[in-house]
Amino acid sequence: METPVRTKVKELLKKEPGIDVLAKGWVRTKRGNKGIAFIALNDGSTINNIQIVVDKNAFAEDLLSKITTGACIGVIGTLVESVGSGQAVEIQAKRIEIYGECDPMKFPLQKKDTSFEYLRTVAHMRMRTNTFGAVLRIRNQMAFAIHEYFHGKGFVYLNTPLITASDCEGAGQMFQVTTLDLNNVPKNKKGQVDFSGDFFGKQTSLTVSGQLEGELGATALGEIYTFGPTFRAENSNTPRHLAEFWMIEPEMAFYDIKDNMDLAEDFIKYLVKCALERCYEDVKFLNDKYDDSLIDRLYGVIDTEFVRLPYTEGIKILEEAVKNGTTFEYPVAWGVDLQSEHERYLVEKHFQKPVILTDYPKDIKAFYMKQNEDGKTVRAMDVLFPKIGEIIGGSEREASLEKLEQRIDELEMSRKNLEWYIDTRRFGSCPHSGFGLGFERLLLFVTGMTNIRDVIPFPRTPKNAEY
Protein backbone atom coordinates (compact mmCIF):
# COMPACT_ATOMS: atom_id res chain seq x y z
CA MET A 1 0.00 0.00 0.00
CA GLU A 2 1.41 3.38 -1.00
CA THR A 3 1.57 5.88 1.85
CA PRO A 4 -0.55 8.96 1.15
CA VAL A 5 0.88 12.37 2.18
CA ARG A 6 -0.30 13.59 5.55
CA THR A 7 -3.28 15.92 5.38
CA LYS A 8 -4.36 18.17 8.24
CA VAL A 9 -7.74 17.47 9.80
CA LYS A 10 -9.07 20.87 8.75
CA GLU A 11 -8.41 19.98 5.10
CA LEU A 12 -9.56 16.36 5.42
CA LEU A 13 -12.98 17.50 6.60
CA LYS A 14 -13.44 19.46 3.38
CA LYS A 15 -12.41 16.63 1.04
CA GLU A 16 -14.65 14.45 -1.09
CA PRO A 17 -14.92 10.81 0.08
CA GLY A 18 -13.38 7.92 -1.83
CA ILE A 19 -9.64 8.55 -1.44
CA ASP A 20 -6.95 7.08 0.79
CA VAL A 21 -5.56 9.55 3.31
CA LEU A 22 -3.04 9.82 6.14
CA ALA A 23 -4.07 11.68 9.29
CA LYS A 24 -1.87 12.38 12.30
CA GLY A 25 -2.91 13.80 15.64
CA TRP A 26 -3.82 13.25 19.27
CA VAL A 27 -6.68 11.07 20.43
CA ARG A 28 -9.42 13.08 22.06
CA THR A 29 -11.71 10.14 22.85
CA LYS A 30 -12.13 6.49 22.01
CA ARG A 31 -15.47 4.73 22.34
CA GLY A 32 -17.28 1.88 20.67
CA ASN A 33 -18.37 -1.70 21.20
CA LYS A 34 -16.98 -5.18 20.87
CA GLY A 35 -16.44 -5.11 17.15
CA ILE A 36 -15.84 -1.48 16.34
CA ALA A 37 -14.01 1.51 17.83
CA PHE A 38 -14.59 5.19 17.11
CA ILE A 39 -11.62 7.48 17.65
CA ALA A 40 -11.96 11.26 17.69
CA LEU A 41 -8.66 12.60 16.37
CA ASN A 42 -7.52 16.23 16.58
CA ASP A 43 -4.33 17.82 15.28
CA GLY A 44 -4.86 21.44 16.34
CA SER A 45 -5.67 22.71 12.86
CA THR A 46 -9.37 23.07 13.69
CA ILE A 47 -11.76 22.82 16.61
CA ASN A 48 -13.31 19.80 14.84
CA ASN A 49 -12.11 16.22 15.17
CA ILE A 50 -12.01 13.66 12.44
CA GLN A 51 -13.64 10.37 13.33
CA ILE A 52 -11.62 7.21 12.75
CA VAL A 53 -13.63 4.04 12.45
CA VAL A 54 -11.68 0.91 13.43
CA ASP A 55 -12.75 -2.66 12.72
CA LYS A 56 -11.31 -4.23 15.87
CA ASN A 57 -10.97 -7.68 14.30
CA ALA A 58 -8.51 -6.30 11.78
CA PHE A 59 -6.06 -4.94 14.41
CA ALA A 60 -4.00 -6.47 17.20
CA GLU A 61 -5.41 -6.20 20.71
CA ASP A 62 -2.09 -4.79 21.92
CA LEU A 63 -2.17 -1.93 19.43
CA LEU A 64 -5.80 -1.10 20.16
CA SER A 65 -5.12 -0.92 23.88
CA LYS A 66 -2.52 1.80 23.31
CA ILE A 67 -5.04 4.09 21.65
CA THR A 68 -6.11 6.07 24.68
CA THR A 69 -7.06 9.70 25.27
CA GLY A 70 -3.99 11.87 24.74
CA ALA A 71 -2.01 9.31 22.71
CA CYS A 72 -0.45 10.45 19.44
CA ILE A 73 -1.19 8.32 16.38
CA GLY A 74 -1.04 8.21 12.60
CA VAL A 75 -3.84 6.60 10.62
CA ILE A 76 -3.96 5.52 6.99
CA GLY A 77 -7.42 4.76 5.71
CA THR A 78 -10.17 5.52 3.27
CA LEU A 79 -12.13 8.73 3.57
CA VAL A 80 -15.78 7.71 3.54
CA GLU A 81 -19.06 9.49 3.94
CA SER A 82 -20.06 9.67 7.58
CA VAL A 83 -23.55 9.13 8.89
CA GLY A 84 -23.17 9.65 12.60
CA SER A 85 -20.03 11.66 13.37
CA GLY A 86 -21.51 15.11 12.89
CA GLN A 87 -19.05 15.67 10.04
CA ALA A 88 -19.42 14.90 6.34
CA VAL A 89 -16.56 12.43 6.28
CA GLU A 90 -14.71 9.96 8.47
CA ILE A 91 -11.76 7.60 8.02
CA GLN A 92 -12.12 3.84 7.73
CA ALA A 93 -8.79 2.76 9.23
CA LYS A 94 -6.47 0.40 7.32
CA ARG A 95 -3.24 0.95 9.20
CA ILE A 96 -2.55 2.62 12.56
CA GLU A 97 0.80 3.66 13.96
CA ILE A 98 1.29 4.69 17.58
CA TYR A 99 3.77 7.59 17.83
CA GLY A 100 3.40 8.24 21.53
CA GLU A 101 1.46 6.39 24.19
CA CYS A 102 -0.34 8.26 26.93
CA ASP A 103 -0.96 6.68 30.32
CA PRO A 104 -4.61 7.49 31.09
CA MET A 105 -3.96 7.32 34.84
CA LYS A 106 -1.21 9.95 34.70
CA PHE A 107 -2.38 12.23 31.86
CA PRO A 108 -2.98 15.69 33.40
CA LEU A 109 -6.03 16.41 31.23
CA GLN A 110 -8.75 14.30 32.80
CA LYS A 111 -12.48 14.63 32.42
CA LYS A 112 -12.85 14.99 36.17
CA ASP A 113 -11.40 18.49 36.44
CA THR A 114 -11.61 20.84 33.51
CA SER A 115 -11.93 24.11 35.43
CA PHE A 116 -9.82 27.02 34.20
CA GLU A 117 -8.17 27.21 37.62
CA TYR A 118 -7.01 23.62 37.34
CA LEU A 119 -5.93 24.01 33.72
CA ARG A 120 -3.71 26.95 34.71
CA THR A 121 -1.79 24.57 36.94
CA VAL A 122 -1.12 22.36 33.91
CA ALA A 123 -0.68 25.16 31.39
CA HIS A 124 2.05 23.12 29.66
CA MET A 125 -0.70 20.74 28.53
CA ARG A 126 -3.81 22.91 28.32
CA MET A 127 -3.18 23.88 24.69
CA ARG A 128 -4.39 20.38 23.86
CA THR A 129 -7.91 21.17 25.04
CA ASN A 130 -10.66 22.38 22.70
CA THR A 131 -10.98 25.65 24.55
CA PHE A 132 -7.31 26.65 24.48
CA GLY A 133 -6.95 25.44 20.91
CA ALA A 134 -9.80 27.78 19.95
CA VAL A 135 -8.42 30.71 21.95
CA LEU A 136 -4.91 30.35 20.53
CA ARG A 137 -6.08 30.00 16.95
CA ILE A 138 -8.09 33.21 17.42
CA ARG A 139 -5.03 34.87 18.98
CA ASN A 140 -3.00 33.91 15.94
CA GLN A 141 -5.57 35.28 13.48
CA MET A 142 -5.84 38.53 15.41
CA ALA A 143 -2.07 39.04 15.38
CA PHE A 144 -2.02 38.54 11.64
CA ALA A 145 -5.01 40.86 11.13
CA ILE A 146 -3.26 43.61 13.11
CA HIS A 147 -0.26 43.57 10.80
CA GLU A 148 -2.55 43.41 7.80
CA TYR A 149 -4.59 46.41 8.97
CA PHE A 150 -1.62 48.71 9.43
CA HIS A 151 0.23 47.40 6.43
CA GLY A 152 -2.83 48.23 4.32
CA LYS A 153 -2.74 51.80 5.60
CA GLY A 154 0.94 52.28 4.89
CA PHE A 155 2.08 52.30 8.52
CA VAL A 156 5.67 51.23 9.18
CA TYR A 157 6.14 48.35 11.62
CA LEU A 158 8.74 49.68 14.05
CA ASN A 159 10.62 47.51 16.52
CA THR A 160 11.16 49.47 19.71
CA PRO A 161 13.56 48.25 22.40
CA LEU A 162 12.49 45.94 25.19
CA ILE A 163 15.39 47.01 27.40
CA THR A 164 15.25 50.70 28.16
CA ALA A 165 16.45 53.36 30.56
CA SER A 166 13.22 55.39 30.46
CA ASP A 167 9.87 54.96 32.20
CA CYS A 168 7.29 55.93 29.59
CA GLU A 169 4.25 55.92 31.82
CA GLY A 170 6.12 57.32 34.83
CA ALA A 171 4.29 54.94 37.10
CA GLY A 172 7.41 53.24 38.47
CA GLN A 173 6.24 49.74 37.60
CA MET A 174 9.40 48.58 35.88
CA PHE A 175 11.28 45.30 36.14
CA GLN A 176 14.97 46.01 36.51
CA VAL A 177 17.51 44.47 34.16
CA THR A 178 20.94 43.97 35.61
CA THR A 179 23.97 41.72 35.54
CA LEU A 180 25.29 43.08 38.84
CA ASP A 181 26.01 40.48 41.49
CA LEU A 182 22.94 40.78 43.69
CA ASN A 183 24.85 39.29 46.60
CA ASN A 184 27.42 42.02 46.36
CA VAL A 185 25.87 45.13 44.89
CA PRO A 186 28.40 47.95 44.32
CA LYS A 187 27.51 51.21 46.09
CA ASN A 188 28.70 54.79 45.59
CA LYS A 189 29.78 57.21 48.34
CA LYS A 190 26.17 58.17 49.02
CA GLY A 191 25.32 54.53 49.61
CA GLN A 192 23.27 54.25 46.40
CA VAL A 193 23.68 51.43 43.90
CA ASP A 194 26.50 52.20 41.48
CA PHE A 195 25.26 51.17 38.05
CA SER A 196 28.40 52.34 36.23
CA GLY A 197 29.76 48.80 36.35
CA ASP A 198 26.47 47.25 35.24
CA PHE A 199 26.08 45.76 31.76
CA PHE A 200 24.78 48.97 30.16
CA GLY A 201 26.67 51.31 32.49
CA LYS A 202 23.40 52.67 33.83
CA GLN A 203 20.15 51.58 35.40
CA THR A 204 17.92 49.77 32.89
CA SER A 205 14.54 48.04 32.91
CA LEU A 206 12.13 46.12 30.73
CA THR A 207 9.89 48.51 28.83
CA VAL A 208 6.34 49.34 29.94
CA SER A 209 5.54 50.82 26.53
CA GLY A 210 7.25 51.47 23.21
CA GLN A 211 5.53 54.80 22.80
CA LEU A 212 8.40 57.23 23.36
CA GLU A 213 10.56 55.50 20.77
CA GLY A 214 7.42 55.16 18.64
CA GLU A 215 7.12 58.95 18.63
CA LEU A 216 10.67 59.18 17.29
CA GLY A 217 9.56 56.90 14.45
CA ALA A 218 6.32 58.76 13.73
CA THR A 219 8.07 62.10 13.53
CA ALA A 220 10.34 60.65 10.85
CA LEU A 221 8.34 58.00 8.99
CA GLY A 222 4.90 59.54 9.44
CA GLU A 223 2.88 56.60 10.71
CA ILE A 224 4.30 53.67 12.62
CA TYR A 225 3.05 50.90 14.85
CA THR A 226 4.72 48.61 17.32
CA PHE A 227 3.50 45.16 18.32
CA GLY A 228 5.47 43.52 21.05
CA PRO A 229 5.66 42.42 24.65
CA THR A 230 5.58 44.98 27.45
CA PHE A 231 6.23 44.44 31.12
CA ARG A 232 4.69 45.88 34.24
CA ALA A 233 5.66 45.06 37.78
CA GLU A 234 2.31 46.17 39.15
CA ASN A 235 1.11 43.96 41.91
CA SER A 236 -2.44 43.74 40.60
CA ASN A 237 -3.91 40.31 40.96
CA THR A 238 -6.94 40.94 38.78
CA PRO A 239 -8.51 39.05 35.87
CA ARG A 240 -7.37 41.90 33.60
CA HIS A 241 -3.69 42.40 34.47
CA LEU A 242 -0.58 40.55 33.38
CA ALA A 243 3.02 41.33 34.27
CA GLU A 244 3.98 40.50 30.66
CA PHE A 245 1.45 41.44 28.02
CA TRP A 246 1.49 42.33 24.36
CA MET A 247 0.66 45.80 23.17
CA ILE A 248 -0.02 47.36 19.78
CA GLU A 249 1.00 51.01 19.69
CA PRO A 250 0.30 53.06 16.56
CA GLU A 251 1.76 56.58 16.50
CA MET A 252 0.83 59.07 13.79
CA ALA A 253 2.22 62.44 12.74
CA PHE A 254 -0.44 65.07 11.92
CA TYR A 255 -3.25 63.22 13.71
CA ASP A 256 -5.21 65.18 16.29
CA ILE A 257 -7.25 63.56 19.05
CA LYS A 258 -10.27 63.15 16.80
CA ASP A 259 -8.26 61.42 14.07
CA ASN A 260 -6.81 59.24 16.82
CA MET A 261 -10.28 58.23 18.05
CA ASP A 262 -11.46 57.54 14.50
CA LEU A 263 -8.50 55.24 13.92
CA ALA A 264 -8.96 53.42 17.24
CA GLU A 265 -12.64 52.79 16.55
CA ASP A 266 -12.06 51.65 12.98
CA PHE A 267 -9.15 49.40 14.06
CA ILE A 268 -11.11 47.58 16.76
CA LYS A 269 -14.12 47.10 14.51
CA TYR A 270 -11.86 45.67 11.81
CA LEU A 271 -10.38 43.17 14.26
CA VAL A 272 -13.72 42.08 15.66
CA LYS A 273 -15.02 41.62 12.14
CA CYS A 274 -11.98 39.49 11.29
CA ALA A 275 -12.61 37.34 14.34
CA LEU A 276 -16.14 36.64 13.17
CA GLU A 277 -15.17 36.08 9.55
CA ARG A 278 -11.99 34.07 9.95
CA CYS A 279 -12.50 32.27 13.24
CA TYR A 280 -16.22 31.66 13.20
CA GLU A 281 -16.03 27.98 14.19
CA ASP A 282 -13.79 28.74 17.17
CA VAL A 283 -15.83 31.76 18.25
CA LYS A 284 -19.04 29.74 17.89
CA PHE A 285 -17.55 26.96 20.01
CA LEU A 286 -16.72 29.44 22.80
CA ASN A 287 -20.12 31.09 22.43
CA ASP A 288 -21.98 27.80 22.74
CA LYS A 289 -19.85 26.40 25.53
CA TYR A 290 -19.38 29.38 27.85
CA ASP A 291 -21.21 32.54 26.93
CA ASP A 292 -24.08 32.49 24.49
CA SER A 293 -24.18 36.28 24.20
CA LEU A 294 -20.61 36.42 22.82
CA ILE A 295 -21.48 36.50 19.13
CA ASP A 296 -24.21 39.10 19.70
CA ARG A 297 -21.71 41.22 21.62
CA LEU A 298 -19.22 41.04 18.76
CA TYR A 299 -21.81 42.03 16.16
CA GLY A 300 -22.99 44.74 18.56
CA VAL A 301 -19.58 46.42 18.49
CA ILE A 302 -19.27 46.33 14.71
CA ASP A 303 -22.70 47.81 14.19
CA THR A 304 -22.58 50.62 16.72
CA GLU A 305 -20.99 54.04 16.88
CA PHE A 306 -18.85 54.39 20.00
CA VAL A 307 -19.91 57.10 22.45
CA ARG A 308 -17.37 59.94 22.80
CA LEU A 309 -17.60 61.63 26.14
CA PRO A 310 -15.39 64.00 28.16
CA TYR A 311 -14.25 62.64 31.52
CA THR A 312 -16.03 65.51 33.30
CA GLU A 313 -19.36 64.41 31.80
CA GLY A 314 -18.59 60.82 32.74
CA ILE A 315 -18.06 61.82 36.35
CA LYS A 316 -21.42 63.64 36.36
CA ILE A 317 -23.16 60.49 35.17
CA LEU A 318 -21.45 58.40 37.85
CA GLU A 319 -22.28 60.94 40.59
CA GLU A 320 -25.88 60.93 39.43
CA ALA A 321 -25.86 57.11 39.63
CA VAL A 322 -24.60 57.25 43.19
CA LYS A 323 -27.37 59.73 44.07
CA ASN A 324 -29.87 57.28 42.62
CA GLY A 325 -28.67 54.42 44.77
CA THR A 326 -25.84 52.73 42.84
CA THR A 327 -23.00 51.76 45.15
CA PHE A 328 -19.36 51.60 44.07
CA GLU A 329 -16.51 50.19 46.08
CA TYR A 330 -14.34 53.22 45.20
CA PRO A 331 -15.64 56.80 45.60
CA VAL A 332 -16.37 58.97 42.58
CA ALA A 333 -15.36 62.62 42.33
CA TRP A 334 -13.77 64.85 39.70
CA GLY A 335 -10.06 64.12 39.75
CA VAL A 336 -10.12 60.42 40.68
CA ASP A 337 -8.79 57.77 38.35
CA LEU A 338 -11.71 55.63 37.22
CA GLN A 339 -11.84 52.09 38.51
CA SER A 340 -13.03 49.28 36.31
CA GLU A 341 -16.40 49.24 38.16
CA HIS A 342 -16.93 52.88 37.08
CA GLU A 343 -15.88 52.21 33.51
CA ARG A 344 -18.17 49.23 33.31
CA TYR A 345 -21.10 51.20 34.74
CA LEU A 346 -20.77 53.74 31.93
CA VAL A 347 -20.39 51.10 29.24
CA GLU A 348 -22.71 48.32 30.39
CA LYS A 349 -25.42 50.14 32.33
CA HIS A 350 -25.59 53.71 31.13
CA PHE A 351 -24.74 53.68 27.43
CA GLN A 352 -24.76 49.97 26.68
CA LYS A 353 -22.06 50.38 24.08
CA PRO A 354 -18.34 51.14 23.90
CA VAL A 355 -17.37 54.55 25.22
CA ILE A 356 -14.32 56.69 24.42
CA LEU A 357 -13.66 58.86 27.44
CA THR A 358 -11.58 61.98 26.71
CA ASP A 359 -10.00 64.99 28.41
CA TYR A 360 -8.95 63.45 31.70
CA PRO A 361 -7.48 65.49 34.57
CA LYS A 362 -3.79 65.97 33.82
CA ASP A 363 -2.77 64.79 37.28
CA ILE A 364 -3.88 61.22 36.65
CA LYS A 365 -2.30 60.96 33.19
CA ALA A 366 1.24 60.70 31.83
CA PHE A 367 3.57 63.65 31.17
CA TYR A 368 3.50 63.48 27.37
CA MET A 369 -0.19 64.24 26.83
CA LYS A 370 -1.28 67.47 25.16
CA GLN A 371 -2.57 69.98 27.69
CA ASN A 372 -5.94 71.57 27.10
CA GLU A 373 -6.53 75.32 27.35
CA ASP A 374 -8.37 74.91 30.68
CA GLY A 375 -5.05 74.15 32.39
CA LYS A 376 -6.62 71.18 34.17
CA THR A 377 -7.18 68.47 31.59
CA VAL A 378 -5.22 66.71 28.87
CA ARG A 379 -6.24 65.40 25.47
CA ALA A 380 -6.30 61.78 26.59
CA MET A 381 -8.62 59.09 25.28
CA ASP A 382 -9.44 55.75 26.88
CA VAL A 383 -11.60 53.28 24.97
CA LEU A 384 -13.85 51.41 27.39
CA PHE A 385 -15.46 48.09 26.48
CA PRO A 386 -18.25 45.96 27.88
CA LYS A 387 -17.00 43.25 30.29
CA ILE A 388 -13.41 44.55 30.02
CA GLY A 389 -13.25 48.22 30.96
CA GLU A 390 -10.20 49.93 29.44
CA ILE A 391 -9.04 48.23 26.26
CA ILE A 392 -7.15 51.18 24.71
CA GLY A 393 -5.30 54.11 26.26
CA GLY A 394 -3.97 56.96 24.15
CA SER A 395 -3.75 60.69 23.58
CA GLU A 396 -2.74 63.55 21.40
CA ARG A 397 0.85 64.34 22.40
CA GLU A 398 2.15 67.65 23.73
CA ALA A 399 3.88 69.20 20.73
CA SER A 400 5.02 72.40 22.46
CA LEU A 401 8.61 72.24 23.69
CA GLU A 402 7.94 74.75 26.44
CA LYS A 403 4.86 73.01 27.82
CA LEU A 404 6.46 69.59 27.64
CA GLU A 405 9.57 70.71 29.53
CA GLN A 406 7.42 72.46 32.11
CA ARG A 407 5.40 69.32 32.71
CA ILE A 408 8.51 67.14 33.03
CA ASP A 409 9.83 69.57 35.65
CA GLU A 410 6.51 69.73 37.52
CA LEU A 411 6.51 65.96 37.82
CA GLU A 412 10.14 66.04 38.98
CA MET A 413 11.14 63.69 36.20
CA SER A 414 14.68 63.70 34.87
CA ARG A 415 14.94 65.97 31.82
CA LYS A 416 18.46 64.71 31.25
CA ASN A 417 17.26 61.16 30.62
CA LEU A 418 14.65 62.43 28.17
CA GLU A 419 16.77 64.80 26.06
CA TRP A 420 16.52 62.46 23.08
CA TYR A 421 12.71 62.50 23.36
CA ILE A 422 12.51 66.26 23.85
CA ASP A 423 14.54 66.68 20.65
CA THR A 424 11.41 65.74 18.66
CA ARG A 425 9.88 69.00 19.95
CA ARG A 426 13.09 70.99 19.41
CA PHE A 427 13.64 70.00 15.82
CA GLY A 428 10.60 70.18 13.56
CA SER A 429 7.97 69.46 16.18
CA CYS A 430 4.62 68.38 14.78
CA PRO A 431 1.14 67.64 16.08
CA HIS A 432 0.84 63.89 16.58
CA SER A 433 -1.16 61.25 18.40
CA GLY A 434 -1.16 57.59 19.24
CA PHE A 435 -2.62 54.88 21.40
CA GLY A 436 -1.93 51.47 22.89
CA LEU A 437 -4.23 48.48 22.53
CA GLY A 438 -3.71 45.72 25.09
CA PHE A 439 -3.63 42.58 22.92
CA GLU A 440 -4.87 40.28 25.69
CA ARG A 441 -7.67 42.70 26.59
CA LEU A 442 -8.78 42.55 22.95
CA LEU A 443 -8.64 38.76 23.15
CA LEU A 444 -10.75 38.74 26.30
CA PHE A 445 -13.37 40.59 24.32
CA VAL A 446 -13.34 38.47 21.17
CA THR A 447 -13.13 35.11 22.95
CA GLY A 448 -15.49 35.95 25.83
CA MET A 449 -12.96 34.46 28.26
CA THR A 450 -13.15 36.13 31.65
CA ASN A 451 -9.59 35.80 32.94
CA ILE A 452 -6.63 37.31 31.08
CA ARG A 453 -4.48 34.34 32.19
CA ASP A 454 -6.54 32.22 29.80
CA VAL A 455 -5.87 34.15 26.59
CA ILE A 456 -2.05 33.97 26.66
CA PRO A 457 -0.20 30.64 26.45
CA PHE A 458 2.18 31.27 29.36
CA PRO A 459 0.83 33.92 31.74
CA ARG A 460 3.18 35.90 33.98
CA THR A 461 1.50 37.27 37.08
CA PRO A 462 2.67 38.03 40.62
CA LYS A 463 4.29 34.87 42.05
CA ASN A 464 3.84 32.97 38.81
CA ALA A 465 6.46 32.48 36.09
CA GLU A 466 6.18 28.80 35.18
CA TYR A 467 7.82 27.39 32.05
Residue closer to ligand 4AD by CB (options 149, 285) is: 149
Q: How far is the CB of 308 from Mg ion (least distance, A)?
A: 17
Q: How far is the CB of 426 from ligand 4AD (least distance, A)?
A: 21
Range in contact with ligand 4AD (rule: CB under 6 A) among 60-68, 70-78, 101-109, 430-438: 430-438
The 319-358 contact track toward ligand 4AD, x by CB under 6 A, reads ----------------------------------------
For 314, the enclosing helix (H) or strand (E) is helix 311-323
Q: How far is the CB of 169 from Mg ion (least distance, A)?
A: 8
Binding of Mg ion at residue 389 (CB under 5 A)? no
Q: How far is the CB of 15 from ligand 4AD (least distance, A)?
A: 41
Range in contact with ligand 4AD (rule: CB under 6 A) among 45-53, 86-94, 241-249, 321-329: 241-249
384-423 positions binding ligand 4AD, by CB under 6 A: 390-394
Residue closer to Mg ion by CB (options 395, 447) is: 395
Binding of ligand 4AD at residue 223 (CB under 6 A)? no
Among 25, 70, 386, 393, binds Mg ion (CB under 5 A): 393
Find the largest Cα–Cα distance for the chain.
85
Burial class (CB in 10 A: 0-12, 13-18, 19+), 426: exposed
The 228-257 contact track toward Mg ion, x by CB under 5 A, reads ------------------------------
Residue closer to Mg ion by CB (options 382, 454) is: 382
The 8-27 contact track toward ligand 4AD, x by CB under 6 A, reads --------------------
Q: What residue 101 binds from Mg ion, ligand 4AD, none (CB within 5 to 8 A, per partner kind)? A: none
Taking the C-alpha atoms of residue 25 and residue 130, their distance in angstroms, rounded to an integer, is 14
DSSP 230-295: EE------STT--SEEEEEEEEEET--HHHHHHHHHHHHHHHHHHHHHHSHHHHHHHHHHH-TTHH
Pairing between β-strand 50-55 and β-strand 89-100 as defined by DSSP bridges: parallel
Amino acid at 7: T
Judge whether 87 and 62 are in contact, CB under 8 Å. no
E strands in 362-404: 377-385, 389-396
Binding of ligand 4AD at residue 217 (CB under 6 A)? no
Question: How many other C-beta atoms can be found within 10 angstroms of the C-beta atom of residue 369?
Answer: 24
Residue closer to Mg ion by CB (options 133, 393) is: 393
Q: How far is the CB of 390 from ligand 4AD (least distance, A)?
A: 5
Q: How far is the CB of 366 from Mg ion (least distance, A)?
A: 9
Among 9, 52, 96, 168, binds ligand 4AD (CB under 6 A): 168
Taking the C-alpha atoms of residue 79 and residue 74, their distance in angstroms, rounded to an integer, is 14
For 77, the enclosing helix (H) or strand (E) is strand 72-81
Binding of ligand 4AD at residue 441 (CB under 6 A)? yes
Residue closer to ligand 4AD by CB (options 9, 261) is: 261
Q: How far is the CB of 165 from ligand 4AD (least distance, A)?
A: 16
Taking the C-alpha atoms of residue 122 and residue 130, their distance in angstroms, rounded to an integer, is 15
The total number of residues written for the chain in this structure = 467
DSSP 327-370: --SS---TTSPPPHHHHHIIIIIIISS-EEEEEEEGGGS-TTBP
Nearest Cα to 209, choosing from 231, 238, 190?
A: 231
Among 26, 149, 155, 435, binds ligand 4AD (CB under 6 A): 435
Residues 6+ positions from 115 with CB-CB distance below 8 Å? none
Footprint of Mg ion (CB under 5 A): 393
Footprint of ligand 4AD (CB under 6 A): 168-169, 209, 211, 232, 234, 241-242, 245, 247, 249, 390-394, 434-436, 438, 440-441
